[in-house]
């Protein structure tokens, strides 16, 4: 496969967490799509998620989601190529533990 993305690129991907945290909310529209972004139970709207990642390469949110999320450490992800990141993210066996996509439920509260 291609070259590993490296720890510097992985660090830049993980730095986007600060931008995501700036979008954290407690209330959403009923059944609105949301992303849980950490093990603290903080959520951002799907729209905010897409807006934050819009300025970055398409593989960045996939690398972010894989890193330290139950199956791969950020160090392991840094040793993957973009192709390997995309394959791992698309793998049906990948089940994110802390950060994942869901919906806000009937009340719009999480």
Instruction: Please give the angle made by the CA atoms of 20, 74 and 16, to the nearest 5 degrees.
Output: 20
Instruction: Summarize pLDDT for 10-19 with one digit per residue, the tens.
Output: 999 999 999 9
Instruction: Summarize pLDDT for 76-102 with one digit per residue, the tens.
Output: 999 999 999 999 999 999 999 999 999
Size of the chain in residues = 110
Domain extents in the chain: 6-103
pTM assigned to the model:
0.94
Is the Cβ–Cβ distance between 21 and 64 less than 8 Å? no
State what percent of residues in the chain have pLDDT above 70. 99
> Whose CA is closest to 60, among 9, 94, 7?
9
Contact residues for 52 (Cβ-Cβ < 8 A; gap 6+): 16, 19, 20, 23, 44
């Amino acid at each position: 496969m291609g070259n590993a993305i490296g720890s510097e690129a992985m660090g830049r991907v993980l730095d986007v967490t600060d931008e995501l945290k700036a979008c954290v909310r407690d209330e959403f529209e009923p059944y609105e799509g949301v992303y849980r972004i950490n093990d603290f139970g903080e959520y951002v709207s799907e729209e905010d998620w897409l807006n934050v990642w819009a300025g970055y390469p398409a593989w960045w949110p996939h690398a972010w989601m894989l890193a330290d999320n139950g199956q791969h450490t950020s160090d392991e992800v840094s040793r993957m190529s973009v192709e390997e990141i995309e394959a791992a993210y698309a793998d049906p066996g990948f089940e994110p533990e802390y950060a994942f996509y869901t919906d806000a439920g009937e009340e719009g509260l999480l």
